[in-house]
Amino acid sequence: MKRDATPVIEVRSLQKVYASQGAAPVQALQDIDFSIREGAFVSIVGPSGCGKSTLLQILGGLLPASAGQVLVAGTPVTGPMPGKIALVFQDATLMPWKSAIDNVLFPLEIQKVPREERLRRGDQYLKLVGLEGAAHRLPHQLSGGMKQRVSIARGLAQEPRIILMDEPFGALDEQNRIKMGHELLRIWEATGKTIVLITHSLTEAIFLSDTVIVMGAHPGRILERVEIELPRPRTYDVIGSPEFGAIRNRLWRMIEIEPTDDDTRAVAPEL
Ligand SMILES: Nc1ncnc2c1ncn2[C@@H]1O[C@H](COP(=O)(O)OP(=O)(O)O)[C@@H](O)[C@H]1O
Ligand SMILES: [Mg+2]
């Protein structure tokens, strides 16, 4: 696959401070600088409260930065950019009264994509996530993993350059999580999109990514950017390899010494 060398996302001196009445301001992000090339798969890991969701929301134009800049294909992000950036969250956020296909088509209606084109995309992307047989089911008739796949199809159907995902498999059990990770890798390989994924699983991050960005908390900042040079295509065998184990230990040590917002460790060494 031909990949452009110019970064599709550039983050420059990004800061985010949450000021709340009666409480000390929270420096959620401090001096964040990185860039992501077109077609890359990048994961962001770090302890709870280190600003991962804040960063993703700023990248997606859902939240303003306090200082600094985010550029997407050279254009400053000042609000949501439907068609360029799609977001997928932990909760599939489907409309319960709409079928799977109608959930996928809804943002396209808002964007005034012509009907024939909408239907073409709806079919194509539901098929890509393996749900062509479930197009007319309502969300309550779908499993958690299927709902999350509808949510991914909805993101893909907008044919964005970039897909931002905030713990999209966080609500799934381990088996479905592994399946979805594999599925996502296949979709990424098929579509050549740029994917930025927040995950609390180091194994998932390493297995899927070209680059893992490791964040620390208080203030939220980047500790390190780790290039994952494991060959592709990747199969699950690689998870048991010594190379994989060495990367995981290194990431785990970086995060282990970091303070978190709560007592429960947000980052687990295993899936
Ligand atoms: N709307 C908000 N108002 C005040 N503080 C917030 C708000 N959202 C998040 N924070 C704080 O900012 C920090 C980063 O939060 P968040 O981006 O959700 O971290 P993560 O996704 O890594 O767990 C945390 O200390 C959190 O409590
Ligand atoms: Mg979060």
> What is the atom index within ligand 1 of the atom nearest the CA of 220?
14
Cis before 233? omega within 30? yes
64 pocket-lining for ligand 1 (C-beta < 6 Å): no
* Closest atom of ligand 1 to CA, residue 51: 17
What's the chain's average pLDDT? Answer: 91
Distance CA 144, CA 43 (A): 22
Predicted pLDDT of residue 3: 53
Locate 142 and state its tokens.
């779908």
Instruction: Please report the domains of the chain, with CATH numbers, ordered by start residue.
Output: 1-84+162-170+180-271 (3.40.50.300), 95-159 (no CATH)
Ligand nearest to the CA of 51: 1
Decide whether any atom of ligand 1 lies within 6 Å of the 26 Cβ. yes
Neighbouring CB atoms inside 10 A of 18's CB total: 15
Asked if residues 271 and 225 have their Cβ atoms less than 8 Å apart, the reply is: no
What pLDDT sits at residue 13? Answer: 98
pLDDT of residue 4: 54
pTM here is 0.91
Assigned token pair, 119: 């239907």
Measured from the alpha carbon of residue 66, the closest ligand is 1
**Nearest residue by C-alpha to atom 5 in ligand 1:** 18
Burial of 69 (0-12, 13-18, 19+ CB in 10 A): middle
Pocket test for ligand 1, best of 15, 18, 63 (most atoms within 8 A of CB): 18
Torsion angle, CA of 37/38/43/48, rounded to 10 degrees? 80
**Ligand 1: centre distance to CA 166 (Å):** 13
pLDDT score at 99: 98
Pocket test for ligand 1, best of 20, 26, 32 (most atoms within 8 A of CB): 26
Quick: pLDDT tens for 131-167: 999 999 999 999 988 999 999 999 989 999 999 999 9
Residues facing residue 7 across a β-bridge? 37
The parts of the chain modelled with pLDDT lower than 50 are: 1, 263-271
- Kindly give the number of the ligand 1 atom that is closest to the alpha carbon of 261: 25
Does any ligand 1 atom lie closer than 6 A to the CB of residue 21?
Answer: no
pLDDT value, residue 266: 45
What integer pLDDT is reported at residue 263 of this predicted model? 43
